[in-house]
Amino acid sequence: MMKNKKLAGLLSLMFPGLGHLYIGRYADGIGFLLGGGVLWGAIVLKGSYLFEMGGLRTLIFWGGLIAVYLYALVDIVRRV
Amino acid sequence: MMEWMKKDDWKWLGVGALVLAGLLGLAVYRGLFRYVLFDPAWNYKGMAVEPGDCSAGNPEIVELTNGCLMMYTHGQTKESHPSENNTYARSSCDGKTWKWEGLVLKMASMPTAVRLPDGRIRLYFMRGGEGNGKIMNGIKSAVSTDGLKFVEEEGYRFEAGAGAPRPDEMSKVREYYKVEGKGKVEDIQSLAHLSVMAVEGGYRIYFDESMRADPKKYGEDKAWPLWRIRSVFSPDGLNWRLDPGVRIDVEQAPLTLLQRSSNATVVKLKDGYHMFFFAGFSPWEDLTAWKRLTWSGTYEAVSQDGLNFTIKNWPRFPGNDAAVIRRGDKLLAYPGRAQAARRGCSDIVMFERKLTAKEK
């Protein structure tokens, strides 16, 4: 069935992996969900430290989160 | 997009919206949005003191004659008895790397120090004693030529008038009261978190007065403590009298939802006195979800006379019990951060901001 590219992208932005589940790429979707889940888990559980810490660790963490979102988005747009 | 949406697509959109709402809800519940409100001028500089024990409570810093810094904290090391509350020292010449100097005074809590005109350091601290069935709660002092070896001075510099109740008699902690006029020493039941500074004509110590919240409002077991900031003044550093009124009161605007204003430290800059203090909740209140919608943290208040302060709206940086000092064209702040492994113990982190043109 033809999938809606914009909806797939929007779902990916809402949470990485949702767009992949939507288009039926379950393995990729679960992978992204796990990656995003770990990062969001760290934000919710250790948010204060992640917001306070500076320097390289901050760059790695927030850069990693943005990279997961962007990668999921680019991947979904390529595949639909 | 909408014209292409099929019935199944709407379901997926609903799932996505639910996930997003859940994440935002969690972030709100955990109070994470607070962090975007902290003053971006304050830069986090990393961990300053990570003691591995409970010896880094309530930091206060004094500049020595050689330009280096001495930090005094209270608590216990692994070697000391759990009932002890001792004063410890750490030194630093760059403000970032702190060297452990060890025990300074036994059974001495809430330390704060000021450099005297002759270069000696006078350390003020709290030490209780029992009298008339109550725990006497007063400020004592000691002097040192190097900031490490102190000789205690006789007697109390200032005594809380009412005397704190014994630890097993918390129901006898005085409830919150309004200070009428100048206020009376005998109304103050207990004091804590001292911070001394040299001011025109003498010295001023800012301290916390602790009281009990209304038990009818909060319940018998949760109605303690409230904190507010008051001060005492001395022309010579030895004889102290209560300053009139309250510096920062409980629930003072704009902090009307916060029951605790405490741990003041004041820096004199060109445009006035800048007080940095913690405002937040008693620990039990922080468990209440709706309270997370208000902003606990270290706030700043400004005054022209060191007595009447106007609180700035948003917290400056996270953390509690901060020591703040001026170093060149910068302010350095050292708030405590709770240790994950030891309940009630703190590490000390560091923030820094440049002075503005009107502050220099």
The pLDDT value given to residue A49:
62
In this prediction, residue B70 has a pLDDT band, given cuts at 50, 70 and 90, of: very high
- Going by pLDDT thresholds of 50, 70 and 90, the confidence category of residue B129 is low
- Of the listed ranges A38-47, B104-113, B115-124, B333-342, the least confidently predicted one is A38-47
Nearest-CA distance from A73 to chain B in Å? Answer: 14
| Average pLDDT of chain B to the nearest whole number | 87
For the ranges B18-27, B39-48, B181-190, B199-208, the maximum mean pLDDT occurs at B199-208
DSSP string, B300-313: EEEESSSSS-EE-S
User: Which pLDDT band, with edges at 50, 70 and 90, does B337 fall under?
Assistant: confident
Per-residue buried b or exposed e for B2-41, using 16+ beta carbons within 10 Å of the residue's own CB: eeeeeeebeebbebbeebeeebeebeeebbbebbeebbee
Return the pLDDT at B35.
Answer: 65
Question: Does the pLDDT value for residue B75 go beyond 90?
Answer: yes
Whether the pLDDT of residue B286 is over 90: the answer is: no
Here the ipTM equals: 0.87
Say what the pTM is.
0.81
Whether B30 and A11 lie within 8 Å, measured CB to CB: no
Chain A residues within 8 Å of chain B (Cβ atoms) = 4, 6-7, 10-11, 14-15, 18, 22, 40, 43-44, 47-48, 51-55
Does the pLDDT of residue B357 top 80, yes or no? yes
Residue B330 buriedness (CB in 10 A; 0-12 / 13-18 / 19+): middle
Neighbouring-strand partners of residue A72: none
d(CA B149, CA B54): 22
**pLDDT of B149 higher than 80:** yes
For residues A13-32, give the mean pLDDT. 94
Count of A–B CB contacts within 8 Å? 61
Counted residue by residue, chain A has a size of 80
Q: First vs last Cα of chain A: how many Å apart?
A: 11
* pLDDT score for A54: 55
For residue B176, give the DSSP letter: P
Choice between B357 and A42, residue whose per-residue pLDDT is larger: B357
Closest Cβ–Cβ partner in B16, B30, B318 for A15: B16
CA distance B31 to B214: 26
> With contact defined as beta carbons under 8 Å apart, do B37 and B314 qualify?
yes
Say which of B19, B30, B44 has its CB closest to residue A14. Answer: B19
CA dist B33 and B315 (Å) reads 12
Alpha-carbon gap, residue B149 to B294, rounded angstroms: 44
Yes or no: say if A33 and B299 are a contact pair by the CB < 8 Å rule: no
Per-residue pLDDT, averaged over B107-112, amounts to: 95
d(CA B105, CA B141): 11
Mean pLDDT of A28-43: 91
With contact defined as beta carbons under 8 Å apart, do B34 and B58 qualify?
no
Which residues of B fall below an 8 Å CB-CB distance to A?
Answer: 1, 4-6, 9, 12-13, 15-17, 19-20, 23, 26-27, 30, 32, 35, 43-46, 318, 337, 349
- Asked if the peptide bond before residue B225 counts as cis, ω within 30 degrees of 0, the response is yes
Give chain B positions within 8 Å (CB) of A55: 46
